[in-house]
């Protein structure tokens, strides 16, 4: 507690960086996953290819990805953009499949009705399919959020600051207060993001609560 | 008028779903496509709005080849009702109804007004408009489905087993209301069902399809029951078709008997074995056995309610059923307001049936023209 009282400003700064490094990729990754998931549904033959390829991205060790990024992007080694791009890749790895599955979860009779009524293209996607895919996509997004918050910690090793710093430094110098703060702050951040996503999903799906309260 | 002209649908694997179908669905009438699973009835329906494209042949709407019309525009001009209603779960009832008007570019105000109007038209209360589909019963959802199909006032409606997912009582009710609605609107409707009873009840003409997608017979329901073209049709319309055909025959003047009645809450008089109980407006409530209640006033729990009630001027089927289902064997007949007119016995209905002719083929009727040879007669 003493350690936290003396360093709370640093902890706050690191938390905000952590949130940025984990959160921005979450949003960008979701946006990139939409066309991928849509294509996997539109051309059913491409589903295995899309899901397997994106899924494989997740198996790249994070440290390796952080180190390769400057070579691929031509950025400086300490540039946070490296981490943002790497985290975006992980997010897409998790969400492309989720978006595809979400869009595929739209009931067949609803799809038929949409077709029969003359729904096409983007209007169909944003008016009918995506709103109904929200519950599935939100579930995937929660997993991706927690995964991002956890993986980002490794970025301390390549010199990009966030809450992982507390873990590395606390471990090296055996400062229990710092270690504990790092762990708890990471958890709190993950829970916070999870809560935001849940709230957002609930707001977007008033019809699901209505279904539960059927009279 | 919807016209199928030698329409065939063959899938890449060689399966023929619909085989050389030629059929006309006349303007303002209900044409029912009926047949067992695999007879291509739903495929035929979906080729009308091009959810499925025919392999050969053409379908025209009022003389215009649908194959040349832009798909989305074609579909927005055709109302479509499917099984389980197919409502959008994430939209309120009113927004569901307003789907096609919005797609057609109506403004919010006009769409909302139209949606509310239709909600009432299909017999739903206005306060249901803000609910989500999951908050409605199956029957209510089906009504919303019909309202949604009617929203942009399309001249043509396609209905794919719209009432098959609800329980029999609700189905019956929905069918009656659908007929009432059609009386007002006069849409050109193609209706698909696997239920021959539904086909006969709703169709102005019924097209029976057989597995493999060929047309077995197309005719008016009464004619279909009386003169099935072949064994398949005869088998499909069912064993009790003779009885069911009675529903198309208006009751001739039946010798009605006056019936002694007792008003609910009063003591029965006389020595009859069965006495008809009515309310203050002479609406029949049920039968009592005076001997069993021992001279006290008739209570609600004494009533035998088994009998159906026939309407004077209704069908022979209704009259016969009233007689057969009545505990006293006397069938109750009421007028249009539901008040008792008299009773009729089964053998009296039967002799009335013997005096009526079976429906015969009308040579000038275009409904029976062309497509199918009709068997001359049957034993």
| Alpha-carbon distances, residue B162 vs A171, B1, B190, B208 (angstroms) | 68, 21, 12, 18
Q: What pLDDT is recorded for position B241?
A: 78
Q: Is residue A106 part of a domain?
A: yes
Please answer whether residues B21 and B44 qualify as being in contact, where contact means their C-beta atoms are separated by less than 8 angstroms. yes
Domain extent for A117: 2-207
Q: What pLDDT is recorded for position B364?
A: 46
Residues of A in contact with B88 (CB under 8 A): 110, 113-114, 128, 132
Closest CA to B75 of B44, B52, B56, B108: B52
Residue by residue, DSSP assigns B251-302 as -----PBP--EEETTS---S--SSEEEE-TT--EEEEE-HHHHTTS---GGG
Question: Which two tokens mark A183?
Answer: 């762990």
Q: Is residue A53 part of a domain?
A: yes
Q: List beta partners, residue B65.
A: B60
Q: Is residue A214 part of a domain?
A: no
Residues of B in contact with A211 (CB under 8 A): 89, 132, 134-135
As a whole number, mean pLDDT of residues B271-293 equals 87
> Would you give per-residue pLDDT tens digits along chain A (215 residues)?
678 878 888 888 899 999 999 999 999 999 999 999 999 998 988 899 888 888 888 888 888 888 888 888 888 878 888 889 999 999 999 999 999 999 999 998 899 999 999 898 889 999 999 999 999 999 999 999 999 999 998 888 887 888 888 888 888 888 888 888 889 999 999 999 999 999 999 999 998 887 665 44
- Tell me: the pLDDT tens digits for B309-334? 888 888 888 889 889 989 888 999 98
Residues of B in contact with A205 (CB under 8 A): 90
B121 CB-side CA count, 13 A:
24
- pLDDT interval class at B116 (50, 70, 90): very high
| Interface check A119 vs B, CB under 8 A | yes
Q: Is residue A37 part of a domain?
A: yes
Question: B100-138: string of b/e by CB count within 10 Å (b at 16+)?
Answer: bbbbeebeeeebbebbeebbebbbbeeebbebbbbbbeb
- pLDDT interval class at B292 (50, 70, 90): confident
Q: What pLDDT is recorded for position B371?
A: 39
Q: Alpha-carbon Rg of chain B, whole angstroms? A: 24
Domain CATH for A202: 1.10.3720.10
Q: Taking the complete model, does pTM exceed 0.90, yes or no?
A: no
Q: What pLDDT is recorded for position B378?
A: 36
CB contact under 8 A, A116 and B75: yes
- pLDDT interval class at B374 (50, 70, 90): very low
Q: Is the pLDDT of residue B250 over 80?
A: no
Q: Is the pLDDT of residue B377 over 50?
A: no
Q: What pLDDT is recorded for position A214?
A: 47
- Tell me: the pLDDT tens digits for B145-193? 999 999 999 999 999 999 888 888 888 888 989 999 999 999 999 999 9
Q: Is the pLDDT of residue B231 over 80?
A: yes
| Interface check B90 vs A, CB under 8 A | yes
Closest Cα in chain A to B93: A207
Q: List beta partners, residue B59.
A: B4
Residues near A193 by beta carbon (within 8 Å), at least 6 away in sequence: A19, A22, A23, A26, A145, A146, A149
The residues in B 43-72 lying below 8 A from A, measured between CB atoms, are 49, 51, 71-72
Weakest-pLDDT range from B39-53, B235-249, B314-328: B235-249
CB contact under 8 A, B91 and A207: yes
Q: Is residue A78 part of a domain?
A: yes
| Count, residues in chain B | 379
Residue with tokens 């429906």: B359
Averaged confidence pLDDT in chain B: 87
Q: Is the pLDDT of residue B100 over 50?
A: yes
Residues near B248 by beta carbon (within 8 Å), at least 6 away in sequence: B221, B222, B225, B315, B359
Q: What pLDDT is recorded for position A38?
A: 93
CA B132 to chain centre: 27
Specify the higher pLDDT residue, B250 or B5: B5
The residues in A 128-157 lying below 8 A from B, measured between CB atoms, are 128, 131-132
What domain count does chain A have? 1
Spatial separation of the C-alpha atoms in residues B53 and B17, rounded to whole Å: 12
Q: What pLDDT is recorded for position B314?
A: 82
Residues of A in contact with B74 (CB under 8 A): 118
Q: Is residue A38 part of a domain?
A: yes
Spatial separation of the C-alpha atoms in residues B175 and B155, rounded to whole Å: 20
């Amino acid at each position: 507690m003493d350690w936290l009282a003396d360093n709370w400003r640093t902890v706050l700064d690191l938390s905000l960086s952590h949130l940025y490094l984990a959160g921005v990729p979450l949003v960008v990754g979701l946006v990139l996953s939409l066309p991928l998931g849509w294509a996997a549904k539109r051309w059913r033959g491409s589903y295995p290819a899309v899901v397997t390829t994106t899924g494989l991205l997740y198996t790249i060790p994070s440290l390796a990805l952080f180190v390769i990024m400057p070579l691929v992007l031509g950025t400086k080694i300490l540039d946070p953009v490296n981490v943002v791009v790497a985290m975006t890749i992980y997010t897409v790895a998790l969400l492309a499949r989720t978006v595809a599955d979400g869009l595929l979860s739209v009931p067949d009779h609803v799809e038929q009705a949409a077709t029969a009524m003359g729904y096409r293209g983007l209007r169909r996607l944003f008016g009918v399919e995506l709103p109904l895919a929200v519950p599935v996509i939100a579930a995937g997004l929660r997993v991706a959020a927690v995964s991002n918050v956890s993986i980002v910690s490794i970025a301390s090793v390549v010199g990009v600051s966030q809450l992982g710093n507390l873990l590395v430094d606390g471990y090296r110098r055996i400062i229990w207060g710092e270690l504990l703060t790092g762990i708890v702050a990471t958890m709190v951040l993950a829970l916070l993001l999870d809560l935001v996503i849940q709230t957002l999903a609930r707001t977007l799906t008033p019809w699901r609560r209505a279904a539960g309260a059927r009279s | 008028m919807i016209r199928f002209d030698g329409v065939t649908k063959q899938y890449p694997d060689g399966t023929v779903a619909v085989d050389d179908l030629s059929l006309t669905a006349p303007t303002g009438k209900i044409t029912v496509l009926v047949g067992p699973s695999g007879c291509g009835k739903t495929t035929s329906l979906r080729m009308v709005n091009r959810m499925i494209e025919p392999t050969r042949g053409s379908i025209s709407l009022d003389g215009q080849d649908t194959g040349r019309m832009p798909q989305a525009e074609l579909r927005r001009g055709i109302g479509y009702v499917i099984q389980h209603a197919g409502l959008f779960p994430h939209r309120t009832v009113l927004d569901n109804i307003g789907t096609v008007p919005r797609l057609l570019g109506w403004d919010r105000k006009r769409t909302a007004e139209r949606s509310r109007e239709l909600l009432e038209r299909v017999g739903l209360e206005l306060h249901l408009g803000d609910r989500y589909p999951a908050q409605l019963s199956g029957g209510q959802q089906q009504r919303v489905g019909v309202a949604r199909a009617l929203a942009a006032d399309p001249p043509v409606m396609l209905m794919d087993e719209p009432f098959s997912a609800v329980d029999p009582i609700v189905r019956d009710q929905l069918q009656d209301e659908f007929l009432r609605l059609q009386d007002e609107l006069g849409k050109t409707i193609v209706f698909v069902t696997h239920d021959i009873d539904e086909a006969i009840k709703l169709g102005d003409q019924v097209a029976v399809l057989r597995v493999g997608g060929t047309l077995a017979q197309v005719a008016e329901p009464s004619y279909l029951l009386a003169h099935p073209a072949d064994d398949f049709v005869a088998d499909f319309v069912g064993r009790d078709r003779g009885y069911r055909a009675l529903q198309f025959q208006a009751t001739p003047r039946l010798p009605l008997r006056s019936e002694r009645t007792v008003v609910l809450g009063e003591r029965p008089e006389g020595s009859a074995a069965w006495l008809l109980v009515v309310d203050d407006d002479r609406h029949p409530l049920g039968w009592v056995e005076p001997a069993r209640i021992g001279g006290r006033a008739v209570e609600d729990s004494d009533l035998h309610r088994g009998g159906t009630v026939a309407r004077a001027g209704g069908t022979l089927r209704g009259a016969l059923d009233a007689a057969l289902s009545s505990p006293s064997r006397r069938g109750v007949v009421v007028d249009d307001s539901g008040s008792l007119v008299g009773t009729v016995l089964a053998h009296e209905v039967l002799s009335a049936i013997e005096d009526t002719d079976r429906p015969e083929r009308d040579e000038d009727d275009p409904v029976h023209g062309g497509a199918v040879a009709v068997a001359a007669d049957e034993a």
